[in-house]
Structure 1
Amino acid sequence: MSEMSERLLRGTSKPCGVSALLVLEDGAVFRGSSCAADGEVFGEICFNTSLEGYLEVITDPSYAGQIITMTYPQIGNYGVNVQDAQSEKPALRGLVVRDLCTTPSNWRSTKSLPDYLREKNVVAIEGVDTRALVRHVRDHGAQRAVLSTLDTDEASLLAKVRASESIVGLNLAATVSCEKTYEFDDLPERQAFAVTSAGERRHKVVAYDCGAKRSILENLLRAGCSVVAVPWDTPAEEVLAMDPDGVFLSNGPGDPEAVEGTYTQVEKLLGKVPVFGICLGHQMICKAAGAEIEKLKFGHRGGNHPVMNLLTGRVEITAQNHGFGLLFPSLGTLVPELSGGFKGHEEDLRFWARSRIAPVVQNEKFGRIRLTHVNLNDGTAEGIALLDIPAFSVQYHPEASPGPTDAHYLFTAFGRLMDGRDDYLDIDIAADRLAGWTFGDVTETIEVKPAMTEGGR
Structure 2
Amino acid sequence: MSKIAEKMRAATSKPAGAPALLVLEDGTVFAGTSCGAPGEAFGEICFNTSLEGYLEIVTDPSYAGQIVVLTYPQVGNYGVNADDAQAERPALRALVVRDMCPTPSSWRSQESLGDYLAREGVVAIEGVDTRALVRHIRDYGVQRAVVSTEDTDVAALLEKVRKSPSLVGENQVVGVSCDGAYSYTAANLPASHGFALAAPAEPRFKVVVYHCGVKRSILDGLVASGCELTVVPWDTPAEEVLAMSPDGVFLSNGPGDPEAVGETYRQAEKLLGKVPLFGICLGHQMMAKAAGAEIDKLKFGHHGGNHPVQNLLTGRVEVTAQNHGFCPRFQSLGALVPELSGGATEHAEDLREWGRRGVAPVVANERFGRIRLTHVNLDDGTAEGFAFLDVPAFSVQYHPEAAPGPTDAHYLFTAFARLMEGREDYLDIDIATDRLSGWKFGSTAEGEVA
User: What is the identity percentage for the equivalent residue pairs of Structure 1 and Structure 2?
Assistant: 72
Structure 1: distance between partners of 2:379 and 2:447: 34
Q: Residue in 1 aligned with 2:301?
A: 299
Structure 2 residue 73 is matched with structure 1 residue 67: no
Q: Residue in 1 aligned with 2:252?
A: 250
Deviation at 1:444, TM superposition (A): 9.1
Contact 1:333 1:361 in 2 (8 A): yes
Counterpart of 1:335 in structure 2: which amino acid? Answer: V
Helix, strand or coil at the partner of 2:232:
strand
Structure 2 residue 430 is matched with structure 1 residue 428: yes
Deviation at 1:37, TM superposition (A): 0.6
Deviation at 1:440, TM superposition (A): 5.5
- Alpha-carbon displacement from aligned partner over 1:97-152 (angstroms, at most 9, x marks no partner): 00000011001001100000011010000000000000000000000001100001
Gap change, CA 1:345 and 1:440, over 3 Å in 2: same
Structure 2: distance between partners of 1:200 and 1:184: 14
Counterpart of 2:122 in structure 1: which amino acid? Answer: V
1:415 corresponds, among 404, 414, 417, to 417
Q: Residue in 1 aligned with 2:3?
A: none
Q: Residue in 2 aligned with 1:129?
A: 129
Deviation at 1:194, TM superposition (A): 1.2
Structure 2: distance between partners of 1:18 and 1:116: 17
Structure 2: distance between partners of 1:411 and 1:188: 19
Q: Residue in 2 aligned with 1:157?
A: 157
- Alpha-carbon displacement from aligned partner over 1:236-263 (angstroms, at most 9, x marks no partner): 0000000000000000000000000100
Residue pairs, 1:64-143, within 5 angstroms: 64-143=64-143
Deviation at 1:434, TM superposition (A): 1.2
Residue pairs, 1:284-433, within 5 angstroms: 284-433=286-435
Residue pairs, 1:50-65, within 5 angstroms: 50-65=50-65
Q: Residue in 2 aligned with 1:453?
A: none
Deviation at 1:89, TM superposition (A): 0.4
Structure 2: distance between partners of 1:122 and 1:287: 33
Contact 2:181 2:230 in 1 (8 A): yes
Counterpart of 1:313 in structure 2: which amino acid? Answer: G
Q: Residue in 2 aligned with 1:454?
A: none
Structure 2 residue 53 is matched with structure 1 residue 24: no
Q: State TM-score, norm by structure 1.
A: 0.94
Q: Residue in 2 aligned with 1:225?
A: 227
Q: Residue in 2 aligned with 1:262?
A: 264
Helix, strand or coil at the partner of 1:407:
coil
Counterpart of 1:77 in structure 2: which amino acid? Answer: N
Unaligned runs of 5+ in 1: 1-8, 446-457
Structure 1: distance between partners of 2:366 and 2:126: 51
Deviation at 1:318, TM superposition (A): 0.1
Contact 1:328 1:381 in 2 (8 A): yes
Unaligned runs of 5+ in 2: 1-8
Structure 2: distance between partners of 1:50 and 1:361: 34
Contact 2:59 2:85 in 1 (8 A): yes
Contact 2:223 2:229 in 1 (8 A): yes
Deviation at 1:12, TM superposition (A): 4.2
Helix, strand or coil at the partner of 1:217:
helix
Q: Residue in 1 aligned with 2:285?
A: 283
Contact 2:195 2:442 in 1 (8 A): no
Structure 2: distance between partners of 1:376 and 1:318: 11
Structure 2: distance between partners of 1:194 and 1:14: 33
Helix, strand or coil at the partner of 1:197:
coil
Contact 2:196 2:442 in 1 (8 A): no
Q: State TM-score, norm by structure 2.
A: 0.95
Q: Residue in 2 aligned with 1:6?
A: none
Deviation at 1:24, TM superposition (A): 0.5
Counterpart of 1:431 in structure 2: which amino acid? Answer: T
Structure 2: distance between partners of 1:240 and 1:10: 62
Structure 1: distance between partners of 2:365 and 2:447: 44
Helix, strand or coil at the partner of 1:406:
coil
Structure 1: distance between partners of 2:151 and 2:12: 30
Gap change, CA 1:83 and 1:441, over 3 Å in 2: closer
Helix, strand or coil at the partner of 2:409:
helix
Q: Residue in 2 aligned with 1:182?
A: 182
Runs (4+) of structure 1 exceeding 4 A deviation are 9-12, 440-445
Deviation at 1:16, TM superposition (A): 1.0
- Alpha-carbon displacement from aligned partner over 1:155-207 (angstroms, at most 9, x marks no partner): 00000000000010000011100000010121111210111111110000000
Structure 1: distance between partners of 2:89 and 2:16: 26
Gap change, CA 1:421 and 1:444, over 3 Å in 2: farther
Counterpart of 2:110 in structure 1: which amino acid? Answer: T
Contact 2:361 2:373 in 1 (8 A): yes
Counterpart of 1:86 in structure 2: which amino acid? Answer: Q
